[in-house]
Every structure is written in C-alpha cells, then in structure tokens.
Structure 1
C-alpha cells in the first residue's frame, strides 16, 4: 500500500498493521500491546510469556467494552475465559492456559497481513508449532529503539478504542458523525443527543501523519509534558466558520497535528489558510483514514463526500471559500521532505 511503500520505515510498516489490517476481533491490538510489554532478553518469546500481557490487555478492555469481536454471539473459548476471569470465576493460571491453547490460533498468522497479503517486513516469526512461541526479528528490536516507539503505543490504543466503540455503537454508517472537543482534545459522537467520547484526538491522528508535523514534517510526540507534544490544529481555521455556513470545521477531515512552531510560533499558521500544496496533502491524509475503516472513514465520507472526486472538490470549495473571506495564505518552512 502507498502508505508504507512510499516511506518504508519500520514505524510505517508497523502502522500499516495497526491502521490498515483487517479487524474481525481486537486480538491484533492486544498482540501489539503484548509485544510492547513482553520481556525481550531472548528473541524467542514463549506462548506462556506472551499470554500474560495478551490476556491482561483483553481483560482490561472487556471491563469497559464487552464487544471485542465483530460477531459477539459466539465469543469462543478464549474470550469466554477472559470474561470468566473478570468475574472471578476462574483463576489466573486457567486464564493463561486457555490463552495459550486458544488465544493465538488466528492472530499470529494474520498479524502481518495487510491488503490481502503479508507485509514484506516481519516483526516476528511464528514458531508456535515448532517451539511453542514466536521469534522476534531484528526489525522489531530496531523498531523498539526508534524515536517513534512510544508514539506507537498511544496510536495502537487509540485505534483499538475506535474499533470497539464503533462495534458498540452499532450505528448505521450514514448516521455516524464524529466531532472534536477542543477543551478535552477528544473525538466524540452523538447518540440520542448524548455525547459519547471515542478516544484521544491527538493519538488517533498521529499514525496517519507518520509521527510528524503535518506542515513542516518535524517529529512530534504524544507524551504529555514532552517538549515536542503535538498541537491539534484546524487546517481551515475556525475563524472562517462564519463564511462557511453548514460546514463542520470541527470534523476529522479538517484536523491535523502540528508542531508548536507551525501552529503558534512567530511565523506560524495562526488564523491563516495553508497553501494549495498542503490542501493536496490533506486530501491524501484523509484518504488514508478512509482506507483504514472503522469508524473515522464513515465520518469523513459523511462530511466530505462518498466518492474521491467529490471529496477533492469539497476541500477545494472550502479552501476557496476561506480565501474569499480574506484569510491570507500561509506556507511553512519545510524542515524535512514530507512523504504522505
């Protein structure tokens, strides 16, 4: 896929798995978190060692989101064991034993599959039958040493939350709309006039921008208190709202992550409209959302158009409308080559 093929870093191959792999259960996210957590002194990780963090993450998510598979009418032996453990009906040892026997039957083989086939970069080798475990590859170790590794943890959890919330809401896609809460920096939707928080806006956007400022491509962080903590910015400034009646500028389609310098620095964007080449970049970023499914893609389709050409025209129309409101154009100082 274009997302990682045009910028084939280890982080982007990993994001390909998290953002674009098929989701029939949330086990892929639990496995990713287990790999973040598991001891890595030996490249061979036994299923027993892997089962402890894998089951723990599923059990924790089940407490707030009982639906962890697409078809929850047949939860299977592993998910049933997790539910029983949460209710105090079985001991931890039985949970781990059931996880080893039933929790990895599909996810280990399917983890690297994206867009109908396996990634050329593999982060572990499935040795479940030969050695009752998986073998971490050199690429995984290099991934853990990269500056983006901490961001990947936040991105995985945000993606997991979005998938389970989409299943729980069970809304018809045409009714799904997602908005940005500026004060809480979260994404939310409405159901029967009740606001339902989905996940952190910052964590949800970051993966699609590959961990960099949307404008100048400087690295950004998701860690609270970090000097590089990203700002959430409205591409078309909110100040233009009066000139764009009926357009949801708080929609996901118009939200990007920016470094502090681009967003509010001395020569930053402020209440200006980014140049035309950045509008094309926004379109490419939004198409990544659409290809990743559940549920942000439906919100963007509802807000910008069901067909690619309509979405392109929608962005052009809003950009031109903002300029007609006498907002000036702005161009960042590029720090690195931007590859979206």
Structure 2
C-alpha cells in the first residue's frame, strides 16, 4: 500500500492498520488502546485475562456516548458492556464474557489491511499455546518512537469518526463534515443540531504521518508542546472570495509553526504546484480509508481521481490569478512522506 510503502516506518505500518483496515466493529481501536495501556508493563506475553480489562473498559467508555459500536444487529460482548455500564452485571462477569466473546475476530484480523496482512507484526497470536498474545520487538520499538503519543490521539480520533458515521448513517448524513476554525474541531449536523466529533488535529495527523505537511518536520498533538502543530488552510483563508468551500476538509493540513507563521512562513501565499500534488495524494489517503472522511472528500472535490485533480487545480488557479498571492515552497526538513520521494526531493533541491 502506497501509504506505508512511501515511508515504511513502524509508525506508518501501525497507522495503516488504524486508518485503512476494514471496520465492521470498533474492536480494532479498543485493542490498540489496550496495547497502549499495557506497554508500560514491559511484558512480552499478555494473557487474554490481562488484555480483557483495558479492552472492555475502552469499549464501555465509548458506548456511553456512542451506543453503536458494531455494524451487525447484535453482539453478546457489546450487550455485556452495555449491561455493565447500566450496573446490571459485575466487572468479573464482564471480563468473563470479554475473554469468551470479545476477541473472536479482532486478534486474527488486526494486521489485515486491504485484504492482506501487512509486512510487520506487532503481536503474535499464542492463544492456543499460552492463552494470550506475545508482543513483538516491533511493538516495543514502536512505543519508543517520537510519534508514539501521537498514535494514541490519532486512534481515538479515528474511532470517534467511525462510530459517528455508524450512528448517523454515512449515505444520508455524514457527507458534510465541517470545520470549526475557532475551536479547531470537526463537526457535523443532525436534525439541524450541531454534533461535535473530534479534534481536527488528531483526525488529520495520521494521514500526514505525524509531520508538517510542507517541510516534513515532526509535529506534536500534545497541548502546550513547543512543537504543537497548527491547522492551516492550504489555499489561504484570504482567498475565500475566490475559492469555494475553503474551510472544507480537502483544504485543511497540519503545519509546523515555522511553516505556518514563522519568518519564512506561508501566510497568504499560495503553495507551489508540487505541494498541490502532495495535497491531492493526502486527500486520496482520505478516500482510501473509507468512511467517513471518504464521503466528505468525494462530496467536496469529486467522484473520480480526474474530477478531484481538476477541482484542486481550479481552486489553486483561482487563488493564483489574484495578484495579491505569490507562490511559496519551503525548504524540506525531512524525507518525503508520499510517493516519488527521491524525484520530488531532487526537484525541490534544484529549485530552491
């Protein structure tokens, strides 16, 4: 898959699982969060009893605000989580059901993306031999990366987007995910009522692999961090009189503070055509990750690759034609995150 082939790091293989794996239930997100919780114990082997507690607790927490966590009509495990939330069964009863029913498919399917297993395994199924799973070196190395804390925020944001889509029905409602520039959150509307979904930063960061969209500098999602990323309009907000729906998800990227508002920052400049091509590829990641940002991007930019390229080119040219806007392209501070890495890096070096 191009997403992690272009930058085959452990973080991006993990992101491939979270962002692009097929979802018929939210169990994959709950399992990811359970593994995040357990990593501090530095245990290689995790029994299903040990895994059951954080796994079920994360699902119980999400059920409190989003009752639909699975696409089938019923699930004994989800029913048990709901009953626990209502105080009808004990925690021991919940854990027993979790061990028996909660892991039926998620252990086997976790590493599958686009109907094939990724090249890296973060755990090995040892339920038959040791009644649990064995965490691999790849997982422990993942927890030591600079991006690990970002992955936790990204997983929860993806989970909230998916469960909101299931609750509201993608085809009829979630075609219009909107952005609140003041609070920097994504929201939609249900029966003329605004429904907040999740942080815009957390939702977009995984698709940019934890880097600034423009210069590839690592960015953070932690509030108060010196490297906290900005949410930026690719086509500048000042071009709103010339470009329709400039506040759409298609036009939102995450940028380091230097690129967004530093001495050599973008400000009201129009990014180069090389960066426009990068935006198209980033948006195609949304399309390939299925619901719900897929539906939003299709509605905003077009049903086909050709239509989406045409939409972006028209928006870019509309902004460019106004004499107030000049072309901008930053110096790269890291490796290219998308396709054709060496080709694009060489071009940028030659130009700038």
The TM-score bracket by the shorter chain reads over 0.9
Structure-2 residue corresponding to 1:211? 210
User: Does residue 333 in structure 1 map to residue 334 in structure 2?
Assistant: no
Structure-1 residue corresponding to 2:2? 2
| Aligned-partner Cα distance in 1 for 2:126–2:247 | 47
Structure-1 residue corresponding to 2:345? none
Structure-2 residue corresponding to 1:35? 35
Structure-2 residue corresponding to 1:293? 290
Question: Where does 1:166-181 land on structure 2 (aligned, <5 Å)?
Answer: 166-172=165-171, 176-181=175-180
User: How far is the alpha carbon of 1:117 from its aligned partner?
Assistant: 1.0
Listed one character per residue, the Cα deviations across residues 114-143 of structure 1 (whole Å, up to 9, x for unaligned) are 011111100000111221100000000000
Structure-1 residue corresponding to 2:127? 128
User: Does residue 55 in structure 1 map to residue 52 in structure 2?
Assistant: no
Structure-2 residue corresponding to 1:199? 198
Task: Calculate the TM-score normalised by the size of structure 1.
Answer: 0.97
User: Does residue 186 in structure 1 map to residue 197 in structure 2?
Assistant: no
| Aligned-partner Cα distance in 1 for 2:42–2:6 | 33
The partner residue of 1:258 within 252, 255, 258 is 255
Listed one character per residue, the Cα deviations across residues 240-291 of structure 1 (whole Å, up to 9, x for unaligned) are 01122xx111111000000000000011000111011000000000000000
| Aligned-partner Cα distance in 2 for 1:224–1:130 | 43
Question: SS of the residue aligned with 2:104?
Answer: coil
| Aligned-partner Cα distance in 2 for 1:273–1:42 | 50
User: How far is the alpha carbon of 1:40 from its aligned partner?
Assistant: 3.4
Structure-1 residue corresponding to 2:245? 248
Listed one character per residue, the Cα deviations across residues 30-88 of structure 1 (whole Å, up to 9, x for unaligned) are 000000001533200000110000000000000000000012x21x2211110110010
Q: Is the 8 A contact 2:210 2:218 kept in 1?
A: yes
| Aligned-partner Cα distance in 2 for 1:20–1:264 | 32
| Aligned-partner Cα distance in 1 for 2:127–2:242 | 60
RMSD: 1.1
Task: Calculate the TM-score normalised by the size of structure 2.
Answer: 0.94
| Aligned-partner Cα distance in 2 for 1:89–1:60 | 16
Listed one character per residue, the Cα deviations across residues 97-116 of structure 1 (whole Å, up to 9, x for unaligned) are 11011100100000000011
Q: Is the 8 A contact 2:219 2:228 kept in 1?
A: yes
User: How far is the alpha carbon of 1:333 from its aligned partner?
Assistant: 1.5
Aligned residues: 336
User: How far is the alpha carbon of 1:190 from its aligned partner?
Assistant: 2.1
| Aligned-partner Cα distance in 2 for 1:41–1:87 | 34
Over 3 Å counting, the alpha-carbon distance change for 1:125 and 1:257 in structure 2 is same
Over 3 Å counting, the alpha-carbon distance change for 1:255 and 1:223 in structure 2 is same
| Aligned-partner Cα distance in 2 for 1:206–1:319 | 23
Question: SS of the residue aligned with 2:283?
Answer: helix
Q: Is the 8 A contact 1:48 1:96 kept in 2?
A: yes
Q: Is the 8 A contact 1:108 1:126 kept in 2?
A: yes
Listed one character per residue, the Cα deviations across residues 220-247 of structure 1 (whole Å, up to 9, x for unaligned) are 0000000000000000011101122xx1
Which 5+ residue runs of structure 2 have no aligned equivalent?
339-352
**Structure 1: which 4+ aligned runs deviate by more than 6 Å?**
none
| Aligned-partner Cα distance in 2 for 1:161–1:63 | 12
User: How far is the alpha carbon of 1:173 from its aligned partner?
Assistant: 5.2
User: How far is the alpha carbon of 1:206 from its aligned partner?
Assistant: 0.2
Which 5+ residue runs of structure 1 have no aligned equivalent?
none
Question: SS of the residue aligned with 1:242?
Answer: coil
